[in-house]
Structures are given as C-alpha cells and as structure tokens.
Structure 1
Amino acid sequence: MSLISSVIEFGKKKSKELKREVGALYFAYKRNDVAWYAKAFAIIVVGYAMSPIDLIPDFIPILGYLDDLILIPLGITIALKLIPKEIMEECRKEAEELFKNKKISGWIAGGIIIVLWLILILFIINKFYNK
C-alpha cells in the first residue's frame, strides 16, 4: 500500500469519525441533562460543521481548507470536554443508528443551517439596535 493511499484511507476514517461526533453533538444538544453552555457550544460547532459558509472561504489556497481542518476538530474537542462522557456515549450510539438506518436529507440539513444563521443574524441585529 502506498503512502498516498494510506493517507487517503486515514482521511476517510477521520472524516467518518468527525461526522459521527457532529451527529452525537446534535443529539447532546437536544438533551435536558446537558448544561446550557455545553448545548450552546455544541450547536455552534454543529452549525459551523454543516454550514456552507466558512470563516475563510475554501477557494483561498491552503487557508480555505485549514479552517475546516483545525476549527471543526478543535470545536468538537472543546464541546466533548463540556459534556459528560456517559451522555456522549449514548449520543454516539444514537448518531450511529441514525446514520446506519436512514440518510439525512440535504434539504433538511440545509434548512436547519439556514434557520441557525438567521437566528444568529437576528440576535446580532437586535443587540446593536437595542442598546
């Protein structure tokens, strides 16, 4: 096996793990036994991971993909430290079942992302105009 194919396989494995963790964070966000600040951080990470809008656009050479390679895993790591391990294990099982049993519609995911961005924009506008 060549080095390139090994790197590709490693990337695919890590990509699947990140997808599972993002799904688990979404399920953790929906739970009542997770602290509000952990929920808030988790939904920000999920929203950024699923969002087509990046802090640094992907068309910028190297930097465009570095934000995805650094920010998403860093966000996931921080969110995992905020949520108890037992809860995350349950959420990972839920996420695995979801990805195993059915495909998530791109339209549904896109709609959720658009709603999250609109809420964020409205919140910012409200803060600036109601000082």
Structure 2
Amino acid sequence: MSAWVWLKGQVKKLKRSITALYYAAHDPRTGWLPRILAAIALAYALSPLDLIPDFIPVLGMIDDLLILPGLIWLAVWLILPEAWESAKERAEREPIRLRENWVAAVCVFIVWDSLAVYVLYMVTRSYGSASLQDNMILLLAATGGILVLCEITWNVWKLKSEARQESDARTPDAMEEGLLSQA
C-alpha cells in the first residue's frame, strides 16, 4: 500500500472524528474546556486555510495529520467517555457534511498575521538599526498590509478555482444534454 493511499485513509478517519467531536461538543455532559478545545479543532478543520496548503502532495496533509489529531486527542481526553462513545455512534448513524467556514479562516488569518507582525517587531527591536527602529510603525504597517493583500489574493484565487471546478463538473452534463436535444 502506498503512502498516499494510507494518508487518504487517515484523513477519512479524521473527518469521522471531527464529526464525532462536533456532536460531543453539543452534548450537555461535555464541560467548558473540552468544548473550547473542540471549537478550536473544528475551526481549524473547517477553515479553508491550512498551515501547509493541501495542493502540495503529501506535505499538504501532514498538518491535518499532526495538528488536528493533537487537538482532537486533547479534547477527547477531557470529554467524558460516555459522551464520546455516544458522539461516535451518532457520527456513524448521522454523518453530516460540515462546510468550510470562512469566518474561521479570517480568524486564522488574524492570528497568523498578528504572530508574523509580532515576530517582526521583536526581531526589529532586538537586532534592527536605529533608523529601522525609528520607522518601525511604517515597517509593521507595510508588513500587515502586504499580508492582508496576499490573503485577499489567495481567497479570490481559491474561490475562483472552486467556481471553475464546479462549472467544469457541470459542463459535461450540459454538453451531453445539448447533444441529446439536437438529435
């Protein structure tokens, strides 16, 4: 069995765990800390933004196979075993399709941008020249602006590629219907 097939199987298992985690988070027996961890895991899972983009072969799935299982494991560890078993059974009986959440993506973008600007601030403050430190506000604002422009560009590209995929999926059917109606 190839590594790619194994990775795809692991991602499928992970999706079932995410659905179970969703149900467990809504269970009244679940405490506030596991709910918060579950919300973080679900936000990351449903965010269209990943640390490593999924279109990069093999590496694109690694963050899904490391970060998400870690968050899920921690949340499950804190959830009562009865609530988790009930959630897993319900996930098998009632699978749901959780959609990508662009609000979660914006939150992830804000966290990453803030972290990048903070790291730049610390590096500039510690190692920057005096003139660079005098213009630190401009440097940080420019960096933040560039990051936001990159993210907007990425979002537009992603939405256009999704729209293109949907139209490509519909095109053969439309062409077939057109040929059949002409015959």
Report the TM-score when normalising by structure 2. Answer: 0.50
Alignment root-mean-square deviation, CA: 2.8
Matched, 1:86 2:74: no
Paired-residue identity, %? 36
Alpha-carbon distance in 2 for matches of 1:91, 1:78: 16
Quick check: 2:4–2:58 contact (8 Å CA) kept in 1?
no
User: Structure 2 vs 1, CA of residues 10 and 64 (structure 1 numbering), >3 Å: closer, same or farther?
Assistant: closer
Match of 2:102 in 1: 114
User: Structure 2 vs 1, CA of residues 66 and 17 (structure 1 numbering), >3 Å: closer, same or farther?
Assistant: closer
Cα offsets for 1:76-122 (capped at 9, x unmatched): 111111111111110011111122xxx63xxx613xx234456x58x
Matched, 1:26 2:22: yes
Q: CA deviation at 1:50?
A: 1.8
* Matches for 1:1-131 after TM superposition, within 5 Å: 3-4=1-2, 7-58=3-54, 64-99=60-95, 104=97, 109-110=99-100, 113-116=101-104, 120=107
- Larger RCO (CA within 8 A; separation ≥ 6): 1
Structure 2: unaligned runs, 5 residues or longer: 112-183
User: Structure 2 vs 1, CA of residues 78 and 49 (structure 1 numbering), >3 Å: closer, same or farther?
Assistant: same
Q: CA deviation at 1:20?
A: 0.9
Q: Of the two, which has the highest radius of gyration? A: 2
Quick check: 2:44–2:104 contact (8 Å CA) kept in 1?
no
Alpha-carbon distance in 2 for matches of 1:64, 1:117: 17
User: Structure 2 vs 1, CA of residues 52 and 58 (structure 1 numbering), >3 Å: closer, same or farther?
Assistant: same
Q: CA deviation at 1:11?
A: 2.9
How many aligned residue pairs are there?
A: 110
Report the TM-score when normalising by structure 1. Answer: 0.66
Alpha-carbon distance in 1 for matches of 2:60, 2:8: 19
User: Structure 2 vs 1, CA of residues 61 and 14 (structure 1 numbering), >3 Å: closer, same or farther?
Assistant: closer
